[in-house]
Amino acid sequence: MRASWDEYFMQIAEIVKTRSTCLRRQVGALIVKDNRIITTGYNGAPEGIKHCSDLGSCLRSELKIPSGERHELCRALHAEQNAIIQAAKIGVSTQGATMYVTLQPCVICAKMAINAGIKKIVYKGDYPDELSLNMLNEANVELIKVGGVD
């Protein structure tokens, strides 16, 4: 049976997340326009900065910070942020695009996606951030949740 576009791109996002350097959770994202992948992203530290996987520790885990809180204490950028940044670096518009992500975006990523012109987000896993969903709905970003986390 042939995969739907959403299934196909979500499977690719699952592969992208295997590049993650986060010790707590691997997340993959891709931005698609006209059924063509324009960028991918996974959660990890900025270029030239050591990853938590290199350091062997996670500050957020050490401080027992719950998921969804105190994003500023993380070395990594989120997968969605990296996908949007990559589009900017190579000069490709994300206006009207679809983002596929293995986890519901946090509020920071939601705001970035809204301003990047992302019109549809297909995600897989839940994230404890109701404000994110509220803002995406208010901005008329189409949200589609697909099957659970692997």
- Cα dist. 67→16, 56, 126, 139 in Å? 21, 19, 11, 24
Is 80 considered catalytic here? yes
What is the crossing angle of helices 107-115 and 79-90, to 10°? 30
Q: What is the token pair recorded at 18? A: 């295997």
- Cα dist. 38→52, 92, 103, 132, 133 in Å? 27, 7, 19, 24, 24
How many of the other CB atoms lie within 10 Å of CB of 48? 5
Q: Of these residues, 14, 69, 72, 80, which one is catalytic?
A: 80
- Give the bridge partners for 88, in sequence order: none
How many of the other CB atoms lie within 10 Å of CB of 50? 10
Is-contact 20 26, C-beta < 8 A? yes
Task: Name the residues annotated as catalytic.
Answer: 80
